[in-house]
Amino acid sequence: MIDMIGKEVKFKDKYDRVLEGIVVNDNYTLPYGGPIVDGKVTDLEGLVQVKHYETTMNIGWMNVIIEKSQIIECNNC
């Protein structure tokens, strides 16, 4: 696995917009985000946390959680 922390990436969000950001965590675990197994909600592992500047309504910097498959391009990875 290539260390992507601090790298600039282009990714597609759930609305198919191509966005840019900087990887903050390349092995993020979303608590209680996985499937229900034996009546218990599991964690969703192996995600990427990206710091992204959102220009809509001057929102500014925000962290976005994506799957690695959503990354289109990674500079210097």
pLDDT at 57: 83
Taking only the tens place, the pLDDT of each residue in 26-71 is: 999 999 988 899 999 999 999 999 999 998 888 999 999 999 999 9
Give the other-Cβ count within 10 Å of 63's Cβ: 12
| C-alpha to C-alpha distance for 40 and 74, rounded to whole angstroms | 35
Residue 7 — very low, low, confident or very high, per pLDDT cuts 50/70/90?
A: very high
pTM of the model: 0.84
pLDDT at 56: 85
pLDDT at 75: 86
Phi, psi of 44 (to 5 degrees): -105, 115
